[in-house]
Amino acid sequence: MNSTPSSPATSPAPFVSNPRVRRKLRQERIAQAVFATMVVLMLLPLLGILVYLVVRGAPLISWEFLTTNPSKGMTAGGIWSALLGTVWLVVVSLAFSAPIGVLAAVYLNEYAKDNWFTRVVNLAVVNLAGVPSIVHALFGLGAFVLFFGMGRSILAASLTLAVMTMPVVITATREALGAVPMSFREACWNVGATRWQTIRRIVLPNAVSGILTGVILEISRKAGETVPIMFTGAVFFRAIPEGDLFAYRLTDQCMALSMHLYTVTTQVTGAPAALPFAVATVLILAIILINATSIAIRAWLRSHRKW
């Protein structure tokens, strides 16, 4: 008997949609719609707040507003001294918290043994991240301002911010280090590399994008904090040379955008109605600019990762 092959038109389809498959696809579309709705609901308040602030503060925002000091009892002028003070506080605190936080995470993840001591340290890091900012402010006042004799200064305020935000860096760095495959380390050890050589040449370069995530979160929180710097280094008003990026010294008190926003909102009378909104807009846009730059660097590093 000769059997003739069935024609393509009559051959059965390799994949047939049945009720079970259609039900799974329907559930998948529902889940996708729910998650997309959550994203939209999360973004709408942020966009609404940003648009509201920009619209209300736009009449005052200009280059002169950014580069001149407050004047006439803060009812006129700009925000130069507060803007520069915020930059100094963020940069100085970052110079302390980022290296210490990264090195502490490297030790906990790569060197420390799993014993009671490391478990206590990990618990302390988690608890420190949840301590209210007012408690950090009182700690900074007692430790840096009074005990170490730094006085109310940029250095004391920056160290307080560094202590407050260091758990974020440690946690993010540990997560990034843990994401590097163990096979990378074992391959280095098998060819005779020491543990430190492996960490420096393999682990850290592959984890740097994750470390930047912690740094981004750290910068955002530092720029917006008010209570810790109010107790340790921020001042109501300080006039500095306009255009001089080094007008502040580490031992000086400084203005800050978050403190200035609180001041013009609650303490200053006769100020333009748009002034608080303009200050808030500059603060938020500065944070967004810093975050966008850090995210771009992180994306570039991830695109050059070898795994």
Distance separating alpha carbons of residues 17 and 131, to the nearest angstrom: 54
Residue 1, pLDDT score:
47
Q: Which amino acid is at 51?
A: V
Q: Summarize pLDDT for 225-277 with one digit per residue, the tens.
A: 888 999 999 998 988 998 889 999 999 999 999 999 999 988 888 888 899 99
The residue that leads in pLDDT, 9 or 301, is 301
| pLDDT band of 140, cuts 50, 70, 90 | very high
Q: Summarize pLDDT for 272-291 with one digit per residue, the tens.
A: 889 999 999 999 988 888 88
pLDDT over threshold 90, residue 80:
yes
Q: Lowest-confidence range among 11-20, 23-32, 178-187, 297-306?
A: 11-20
The mean pLDDT value of the chain amounts to: 87
Q: Summarize pLDDT for 180-208 with one digit per residue, the tens.
A: 889 889 889 988 888 999 999 889 988 88
Q: Summarize pLDDT for 86-128 with one digit per residue, the tens.
A: 999 999 999 999 999 999 999 999 998 888 888 898 888 888 8
Residue 130, pLDDT score:
83
Q: What predicted TM-score, i.e. pTM, was given to this entire model?
A: 0.84
Share of the chain above pLDDT 90, in %: 46
* CB-based contacts of 267, cutoff 8 Å, min separation 6: 236
**Annotated domain spans of the chain:** 81-257
- Bridge partners, residue 71, by sequence: 76
Q: 201-218: b or e for each residue (b if 16 or more CB lie within 10 Å)?
A: ebbbebbbbbbbbbbbbb
CB 78 within 8 A of CB 66: yes
Residue 306, pLDDT score:
61
Cβ burial, residue 259 (10 Å; 0-12/13-18/19+): buried
Q: How far is CA 223 from CA 4, 37, 94, in A?
A: 78, 30, 11
What topology does CATH give the domain 81-257?
MetI-like fold (1.10.3720)
Nearest to 169 by CA among 222, 226, 119: 222
Nearest to 90 by CA among 149, 157, 148, 3: 157
Distance separating alpha carbons of residues 15 and 21, to the nearest angstrom: 10
Q: How far is CA 178 from CA 110, 118, 202, 225, in A?
A: 9, 16, 13, 30
Residue 222, pLDDT score:
85
Distance separating alpha carbons of residues 76 and 70, to the nearest angstrom: 6
